[in-house]
Amino acid sequence: MDDLMRLDDRLNADQRLIRDTVRSFVADHVLPQVGDWFEEARFPARELAPALGALGVLGMHLEGYGCAGTDAVSYGVACRELEAGDSGVRSFVSVQGSLAMFPIWRYGSDEQKEEWLPRMAAGSAIGCFGLTEPDHGSDPANMRTYAKKDGSDWILNGAKMWITNGSIADVAVVWAQTDEGIRGFVVPTSTPGFSAPEIHKKLSLRASVTSSLYFDDVRLPASAVLPGVTGLRGPLSCLSEARYGIVWGVVGAARACLEAAVSYAKTRVQFDKPIGAFQLTQEKLAWMYVGTAQAGLTALHLGQLKDAGQLDPRQISFGKLANVRAALDIARQARTILGGNGITLEYPVIRHMNNLESVLTYEGTQEIHTLVLGEALTGLSAYR
Ligand X SMILES: Cc1cc2nc3c(=O)[nH]c(=O)nc-3n(C[C@H](O)[C@H](O)[C@H](O)COP(=O)(O)OP(=O)(O)OC[C@H]3O[C@@H](n4cnc5c(N)ncnc54)[C@H](O)[C@@H]3O)c2cc1C
Q: How far is the CB of 375 from ligand X (least distance, A)?
A: 11
Q: CB nearer to ligand X: give 210 or 281.
A: 210
Cβ(156)–Cβ(183) below 8 Å: no
Nearer to ligand X, 164 or 315 (CB): 164
Number of residues lying near ligand X (CB under 6 A): 21
130 φ, ψ to 5°?
-105, 100
According to CB under 6 A, which residues from 80 to 109 bind ligand X? 95
Sign of CA dihedral 293, 296, 298, 300: negative
Applying CB under 6 A, the span of 8-16, 123-131, 185-193, 272-280 interacting with ligand X comes to 123-131
Q: Is 132 in the site for ligand X (CB under 6 A)?
A: yes
Smallest gap from Cβ 164 to ligand X, in A, equals 4
Q: How far apart are CA 15 and CA 277, in angstroms?
A: 36
Q: Which one, 207 or 311, has the nearer CB to ligand X?
A: 207
Catalytic residue list: 363
Question: Under the criterion CB under 6 A, does residue 163 sit at the interface with ligand X?
Answer: yes
The residue (of 54 and 383) whose beta carbon lies closer to ligand X is: 383
Which residue in the set 189, 210, 298, 317 belongs to the binding site for ligand X (CB under 6 A)?
Answer: 210
Give residue number: closest CB to ligand X: 137
Could you tell me the smallest distance in angstroms from the CB atom of residue 201 to ligand X? 12
Cβ distance to ligand X smaller for residue 86 or 363: 363
What are the residues facing 269 on neighbouring strands? 274
The answer to whether residue 185 forms part of the interface with ligand X (CB under 6 A) is: no
Shortest distance, position 299 Cβ to ligand X, whole Å: 21
Please select the residue that binds ligand X; options are 137, 188, 227, 313, rule is CB under 6 A. 137
326 within 8 A of 291, measured Cβ to Cβ? yes
State yes or no: residue 361 binds ligand X (CB under 6 A).
Answer: yes
Residue 113, helix vs strand vs coil: helix
Contact 159, 168 (CB under 8 A): no
Asked whether position 362 contacts ligand X by CB under 6 A, the answer is yes
User: Rounded to whole angstroms, how far apart are CA atoms 16 and 352?
Assistant: 24
Instruction: Please report, as residue ranges, which positions from 283 to 342 form the binding site for ligand X (by CB under 6 A).
Output: none
CB of 363 to ligand X, least distance (A): 6
Stretch that binds ligand X, among 68-76, 109-117, 305-313, 367-375 (CB under 6 A): 367-375
User: Which residue among 70, 112, 145, 164 contacts ligand X (CB under 6 A)?
Assistant: 164
Please enumerate in sequence order all residues whose Cβ is within 8 A of that of 119, keeping only pairs 6 or more positions apart, or say none. Answer: 125, 170
- Give the residue, chosen from 21, 191, 263, 365, that forms a contact with ligand X under the rule CB under 6 A: 365
Strand partners of residue 160: 213
Residue type, 18: I
Interface region with ligand X, contact rule CB under 6 A, candidates 38-46, 127-135, 309-317, 337-345: 127-135
Smallest distance, Å, CB 276 to ligand X?
A: 34
Round to whole Å and give the CA distance between 239 and 216: 26
Give CA–CA dist 90/343, Å, rounded.
22
Under 8 Å between Cβ of 87 and 359? yes
H helices present in the chain, as ranges: 13-25, 34-40, 45-55, 72-85, 87-94, 102-107, 110-122, 233-267, 279-307, 313-337, 349-361, 366-378
By CB under 6 A, tell whether 374 contacts ligand X: no
368 counts as binding ligand X under rule CB under 6 A? yes
Residues contacting 96, CB < 8 A, separation 6+: 49, 52, 58, 59, 120, 123, 126, 127, 165
Residues at the interface with ligand X (CB under 6 A): 95, 129-132, 137-138, 162-164, 205, 210, 358, 361-363, 365, 367-368, 371, 383
